[in-house]
Amino acid sequence: MENLIKVGMADLQTSGHPCVLTTLGLGSCVGIALYDSNKKIIGLAHIMLPSSLQARNNSNIAKFADTGIVKMLNDMLKLGARKENIVAKLAGGAQMFAFSDSSDMMRIGARNVISSKEKLQELNIPIITEDTGGNYGRTIELFSEDGRLLIKTIGHGIKYI
Amino acid sequence: MLLGMEVDMTINIEDLNNLHIDVLREIGNIGAGSAATALAKMLNKKVNMDVPKVKVMEFKEVSETLGGAEILVIGILLGVNGELNGNIMFILEYNAAQVLVNMLLGKPLDELNDFNELELSALKEIGNILAGSYLSAMSSLTNLNIMPSVPDIAIDMAGAILSVPAIEFGKIGDTVLYIETEFLDGNTRVVGDFFLIPDVESYEILLKALGVIS
């Protein structure tokens, strides 16, 4: 049986091999998966908001793309990962409701994705693949064995990226 | 003298005391009572409801509330505008929504198909009426002028749909305020969950209008 660890909303987890990190029902939140293929060290964050700088209460660093990614990277380095080996995969950032009249609430998914990409770029972590946007939820599982990311949806298929 | 001292009037959900929770439960009670009456009229039968549960939850608990993050649910979201701004969300389990629509359209209750266009708009209308009567009860209680916007609907995993209100709460704190109301129709249980999501300023306006804070 694989070692399965759940990552909650506004939460992040890191682990060495063997392990599967999973987060359930990503909507407008973004799942950021980091992987060091040499050391088989993985990290998964379930962020809710793009930036800690715009928030009044930013004590929960796993809630924001900017602070969450930095924390996850540091945790992985502590486990022995090497920064130059780490790659990223992104999933989520959907727009669950079509709404036309309400402003930034409805664009939050896209903004979460943009902010995650900016932070990863700033840290020189390449994004090798992503499954973002759309109007549907995703459950994801990240495998330490080879860094594959399983994406499950309702009505939009199941795939690995 | 406290002259010139800065006072932070901002309320954190974490800091709500029992009185605040009681008041919010009462709002939930009156709002949901009014929604149940509207539902009863719509279905032309008696609809009972339980006393709403008011909970302050951490984000990680949110998706477990409806029986798991991956369970299929219907979310109906309306904007709230006027003296109070924010959103109101009504969530129904998929099967409960089917039962509700079947009741409304006079179909056998156990006929469980995917929703067609007509049934989807019937669902939106249910959301519209429930949220509308919820809000008008709140409006007369608080004397605040509140209007709902046109509803929007999503059918997907509970976690993904609940992320929408959770993110709004995320902007102000690390917990979600959640008002659960259960509607009962004879032997058929229709469980619906209301999330009332005032924006930061409206939270205080709401409690002030009710005289809970000065």
CB contact under 8 A, B157 and A8: no
Q: Is B72 on the interface with A (CB under 8 A)?
A: yes
CATH at residue A88: 3.30.1330.200
pLDDT tens across the length of chain A (161 residues) = 568 999 989 999 999 999 999 999 999 999 999 999 999 999 999 999 999 887 766 778 999 999 999 999 999 999 999 999 999 999 999 999 876 455 555 588 999 999 999 999 999 999 999 999 999 999 999 999 999 999 999 989 999 99
Least CB–CB distance from B167: residue in A11, A28, A56: A28
**Domain carrying residue A98:** 4-156
Complex prediction ipTM: 0.88
Q: Is B10 on the interface with A (CB under 8 A)?
A: yes
> Is residue B214 in a domain?
no
| Residue tagged 């009860």 (tokens) | B137
Positive/negative CA dihedral, B33, B39, B42, B48 = negative
Q: How far apart are the C-alpha atoms of B181 and B165, rounded to whole Å?
A: 17
Shortest alpha-carbon distance between residue B73 and chain A (Å) = 11
| pLDDT tens digits for range A67-112 | 999 999 999 999 999 999 999 999 999 999 876 455 555 588 999 9
Least CB–CB distance from B160: residue in A27, A57, A98: A27
> Is residue A49 in a domain?
yes
Total-model pTM: 0.84
> Is residue A161 in a domain?
no
Count structural domains, chain A. 1
CA dihedral (A31, A37, A39, A44) in degrees, to 10, reads 0
**What is the C-alpha end-to-end distance of chain A, expressed in Å?**
23
Show the DSSP H helices in chain A as ranges. 65-78, 108-122
**Domain carrying residue B46:** 2-209
Q: Is A124 on the interface with B (CB under 8 A)?
A: no
Count structural domains, chain B. 1
Shortest alpha-carbon distance between residue B153 and chain A (Å) = 7
Q: Is A63 on the interface with B (CB under 8 A)?
A: yes
Nearest residue on chain A to B197, judged by CA atoms? A105
| pLDDT tens digits for range B172-203 | 777 777 777 766 666 666 667 777 776 666 77
CB contact under 8 A, A63 and B77: no
Beta strands in chain A (DSSP E): 4-6, 11-15, 20-26, 30-36, 41-47, 86-92, 127-132, 138-143, 149-152, 158-160
Q: What share of chain B is helix, strand, coil (3-state, %, to 5)?
A: 45, 25, 30
**What is the C-alpha end-to-end distance of chain B, expressed in Å?**
19
CATH at residue B133: 3.40.1550.10
Residue B83 has pLDDT above 90, yes or no: no
For the record, the structure tokens of A113 come out as: 């994705």
